[in-house]
Every structure is written in C-alpha cells, then in structure tokens.
Amino acid sequence: MRTRVRFAQRRVDAQPGVRPGLIRFEKVAVRFPGGVTALHELDLEIPKGQFAVLVGASGSGKTTALRLVNRLQDASSGRVLVDGVDVQERDPIELRRSIGYAIQGVGLIAHMSVAENVALVPRLKGASPEEQRAIARAGLARVRMPPDQFLDRYPHELSGGQRQRVGLARAMAADPDLVLLDEPFGALDNVVREEIQDEFKEILGGLHKTIVLVTHDMHEAIHMGERILVMNAGRLVADGTPEEVVLRPKDEFVRKLLGRRRRELENYVKELRG
C-alpha cells in the first residue's frame, strides 16, 4: 500500500496550460570570468515525459546546461523555465528539492544509513519518520534492492552498482516530474555499467518522467535516450532521434564524435530500433 505523504513546503505549480516536467531554454548564455563562454544562446525545449540525452566531449557545455535547470549554475543572459516558470523566480533550495538529481559518484552521505539517504528530500520537505521509512522501503524495492537487506546499511558497505541504485532511489524519492542525471554511470566498470544502464532504462521508462541525462559516451546516449542533443563548444549542433543523429549526421562535429566507431554505432542503432 502506497504511503501518502503530506509535505510541509509550498509547491510551485506549473503555469496554466503547461504540463509539469517541461523545460525550456530561451537564448541562454553562460559566461565565466576571463572571457570563457560555456554556453552560447541556447534555445531548446524538452517536453514532459521525454528521455533526452545531452552528449558531447569535456567542455562542450552539456553539464553547464543541466546545472542551469536546478540552479547549480545561473545564466548570464536568457531564461531557463521549468513548468513555464523562470527558475530565477524560484527559491533555489525549493527548486532543487522538486527535481530528482543523480550524479557520477552518487554523493551519498557517509554517516547516514541507506534509508536516511533515500528519504533525505522527503524529510526536508516535512515527511514524518514513519513516512520516511516507507518511502525508503518503496524506493529500494523500485530499484530492485531488497529493503530488509539494505535499509540499515551504510554507503561504505555497498558496491558501486548498489550505491548507484541508491542514488537513483534518492533522486526519485519525492516523486519528481523531472529527473536530471549527470554522468551517473561514469564511475562504474564496463560490465556493471551496462547492467545498471539496462535497469535504469527499464525503471525510468515505466515512470513517465521527464529525464535529462548527460554523458560523453555516444553508445550510452543511443542506448538510453529517445532524443539526442549533441553539444560542442557551448553550442547545440545536433538534435534528433538516434536514427537522425547517427545514421544521417548533418554536422561535421557529429561525424568526428562518431569517429572510428561510426559503423558500430550505426549497426547498434539499427539493432535497437529493429
């Protein structure tokens, strides 16, 4: 039986006519001291329920774009809107608590149990201890970790793959409409990474959330996403389905990004899409 949680914090509702989970970038630029421009007037809309992947090399602007959504980075110009509301009009702490977020290395709190880590955001939003425990139990079950075995363990007692699952459970604990994933599989070895990718794709695909994943790995982007957004030097250079981006690349940088693996990646796209 699902526990109904009443959060004490005020919820900021989507604007009328806007479906929760919508993200919009309107001519967004990010400039750092010293004249470095990390993002050049990005125009982009990600609709509710889409699994979009930002892919590119280091320094391409993909992580900067992601961090704008939950205000871990603020824009120098332009606007970022979530649910039709400019994120600059939102309290950054409240905004972050409304968005699921998982990163490379997970970032679990070492002195907290698995249950406490998973239920961290619900606790901050006012959930009772009983509700927190129920949320943690349901969250672990969702990511295929037997709750009775793992609720009272600590991060150092988990494998890399288990920590990554706990990180996803924590990101989903407050039932957000939007989930941001920043290189969540980067610290895992190849065998574990592919296993976790498959599990995450299946789990997230059944939740009807808006998902934005950042990765440097085109194979991962093809496998995980329904839409691929290729970044280069702070600009969006390709936007389309895996078939459009990989089988019919229009930008020279995309062809270079595919590189020697182009034939392999083309075959993989065809295999996945039947």
Q: What is the CATH number of the domain that holds 85?
A: 3.40.50.300
185 or 252: which carries more pLDDT confidence? 252
The reply to whether 125 falls in a domain is no
Tokens of 233: 């030097």
Among the residue ranges 34-38, 51-55, 145-149, the one predicted with the least confidence is 34-38
Is 204 domain-assigned? Answer: yes
C-alpha distances in angstroms, 171 versus 1, 147, 201, 240, 273? 21, 17, 15, 27, 29
Q: What is the percent of the chain where pLDDT is above 90? A: 68
Neighbouring C-beta atoms of residue 85, cutoff 10 Å? 17
Residue 199 lies in a domain: yes
Confidence band, pLDDT 50/70/90 cuts, at residue 105: low
**Residue range 33-42: mean pLDDT, rounded:** 93
Mean pLDDT of the chain: 88
pLDDT the model gives residue 264: 92
The percent helix, strand, coil of the chain (3-state, each to 5) is 40, 20, 35
Domain count, the chain: 1
Task: Supply the pLDDT for residue 86.
Answer: 97
What are the angstrom distances between the C-alpha of 96 and each of 42, 91, 195, 250?
A: 22, 9, 28, 36
C-alpha 12/C-alpha 166 separation (Å) is: 27
Full domain range(s) for residue 72: 23-99+176-273
Q: Quick one: DSSP state of residue 60?
A: S
Lowest mean pLDDT among 98-102, 112-116, 188-192, 263-267: 188-192
**pLDDT at residue 212 greater than cutoff 90:** yes
Amino acid of residue 94: E
How confident is the model at residue 11, as a pLDDT? Answer: 39
- Quick one: average pLDDT of 106-121? 92
The pLDDT assigned to 28 comes to 98
3-class secondary-structure state, position 217: coil
Say which residue the tokens 């009983």 belong to. Answer: 130
More confident residue, 157 or 207: 157
243 pLDDT band, cuts 50/70/90, is very high
Give the residue with greater pLDDT, 14 vs 104.
104
The residue among 54, 53, 29, 45 whose CA lies nearest residue 83 is: 45
Contact 147, 136 (CB under 8 A): yes
Residues 117-141, mean pLDDT to the nearest whole number: 95
pLDDT of residue 186: 73
Give the number of C-alpha atoms closer than 13 A to the C-alpha of residue 246, restricted to the C-beta side: 30
Q: Considering the domain boundaries, does residue 117 fall inside one?
A: no
Instruction: Answer whether residue 85 is part of any domain.
Output: yes
For residue 140, being part of any structural domain is answered with no
Predicted TM-score (pTM) above 0.95: no
Q: pLDDT > 70: what percent of the chain?
A: 91
Provide mean pLDDT across the span 253-263: 89
Parallel, antiparallel or unpaired: strands 210-215 and 51-55 = parallel
- Does residue 137 fall inside a structural domain? no
Show the beta-strand stretches assigned E in the chain.
Answer: 23-32, 36-46, 51-55, 77-82, 85-86, 100-103, 178-182, 210-215, 227-232, 235-240
**Per-residue confidence (pLDDT) for residue 17, from 0 to 100:** 54
